[in-house]
Chain A
């Protein structure tokens, strides 16, 4: 059965492996080039508060941005592609071509056929996703010493840690289940793309509740010092200690800003702070990184198991 799985799915396996290899080369090249540039241009004492350090940071940031635009779409598109090309055809194509009547009338039972395929291919896509995560995690620090954004930026968050692994697994199982449901590849592919998009959006909304947010009271400024935090909510605290969303003080004129200027908003905030108001911010600090990683991994793994169960059940109940 392992040979059968390899022979039937080697196109997907090879294309995905080739893609990861290509991306690995790109990242390696970019990291080596950036490392050499940093070694040549970094004045002693960097990273640090020195002005020259800032220039180096900008130069590295430019390099980072150039490469990031190439694969920044991956958190969404890579799982969708995995689900569409690994998952959806697994059953969809067999039903479409009638080959399930060949595959499931040999002495290997349908259950075993399915379980081997699901476990071998599921493990392979998970490993592929984790390899992507490893490469990105090795590449990013070359550019981003000190200031990180793996937690606050949802796109980056979904590309590091265990996220790519579980997302790829989830998309794969979603594709398999859709194939079992529709018995057609194309509708199953469409469902995968829609399903992955909806899931990603839903989990993004849900992630606020993965942990109790931290509360901080700011006076003088409404911005958190840590750029990598995830903001959950904010409110104004009256001098009496009561929290309100919209301060009802008459003395501060609140005028709309024109264009990109935030001068009026700034003036209003400064006026409120002057009257004894404080700004309460609810947020998740980057220290929650692994808690969020494992929570989301747990949700997606459970969902994958449920989808796999659905696919198996449906296939065994009505195999013809």
Chain B
């Protein structure tokens, strides 16, 4: 699949500190990618660079086709009615599917004449997502779409995004620092930590390639790429990438998504990245 989003050597600096450094990744079309990492990892910076809200200091990021973006606080004009917001979208976009936007809002029970300032947090998120989808983008970028939403609203927003993905060729990149929100919906994982890219790959493949090992302290793990290691008393637990080590004392199982992410976040020096483009035959 050709990539919809491609970053090469992307670096963004705010005054003295690098928010993002030497970040190269490519996101194949049709994926729903989870961008995870702790606060300040550079998730928002990566997204802003992708939609042109900031200029990278080095490298670049390219979107094939059109991208729609929903910023973290779901910005909408408070003085506008929902209908005004749709007109705003229609007037500022080359492609605009007004009918589907109206249908979608009707389905969600959000009246068009309601003022934006009178919307609930969930409705606000839905209007923002509706506007992003009405532009018929090839790539939908959502910065913390579920933050500040109650569990029911989180579920609704997520479900309506997934319905759209099922309907047509749409790639989604969404960020969150709550991994459990993404477990059921995403099939691609990107982990950012301290401004550096740690993981980028298909979630199923990643889970298959990694093992969680537990065994006595003396067990050896020679010839295995250790992602992170934790010792508790006489037990050692580690997340490794690659085949099971020969030492029979290890008990092994495949990690869950959250375990995988936590394993990488705990040791920022580890990385699981595809080989650089071009070398990949």
Listed in ascending order, the chain A residues whose CB lies under 8 Å from chain B are 1, 3-4, 7-8, 11, 97-108, 110, 113, 317-320
Contact = CB atoms under 8 A, between A and B. Distances in A.
A319 B53 CA distance: 5
Interface of B: 48, 51-55, 66-69, 71, 73, 75-80, 84, 87-89, 91-95, 128, 135
B135 A4 contact: no
Contacts of B66: 107
B217 to A, nearest CB: 49
Given A107-B93, A320-B48, A101 B71 contact: yes
A3 B68 contact: no
Contacts of A318: 54-55
21 contacts: A1-B91, A1-B92, A3-B91, A11-B79, A98-B71, A98-B73, A99-B77, A102-B76, A102-B77, A102-B128, A103-B92, A105-B52, A105-B53, A105-B69, A106-B92, A106-B135, A107-B94, A108-B92, A319-B52, A320-B53, A320-B54
A103 B71 CA distance: 11
Contacts of B128: 102
Classify the interface of chain B: helix, strand, loop or mixed: loop
A108 B93 contact: yes
Nearest to B12: A320
A8 B93 contact: no
B87 A3 contact: yes
Given A97-B75, A101-B71, 11 more contacts: A97-B78, A98-B73, A101-B53, A102-B75, A105-B52, A105-B71, A106-B135, A107-B135, A110-B52, A318-B54, A320-B48
B273 to A, nearest CB: 26
Contacts of A7: 80, 84, 87-88
Nearest to B51: A105
Given A105-B53, A317-B55, A4 B75 contact: no
B173 to A, nearest CB: 13
A4 B93 contact: no
Contact of A106 (B54, B76, B89): B89
Given A98-B71, A101-B71, A320-B48, A106 B93 contact: yes
User: Which of A1, A105, A318 has the largest number of chain B CB atoms within 10 A?
Assistant: A105
A107 B55 contact: no
Contacts of B67: 105
Given A4-B88, A107-B92, A102 B135 contact: no
A101 B79 CA distance: 17
B53 A4 contact: no
B90 to A, nearest CB: 9
Contacts of B76: 99, 102
A7 B73 CA distance: 22
A319 B54 contact: yes
Nearest to A108: B92
Contacts of B55: 317-318
Contacts of B95: 107
Nearest to B143: A101
Contacts of A104: 52-53
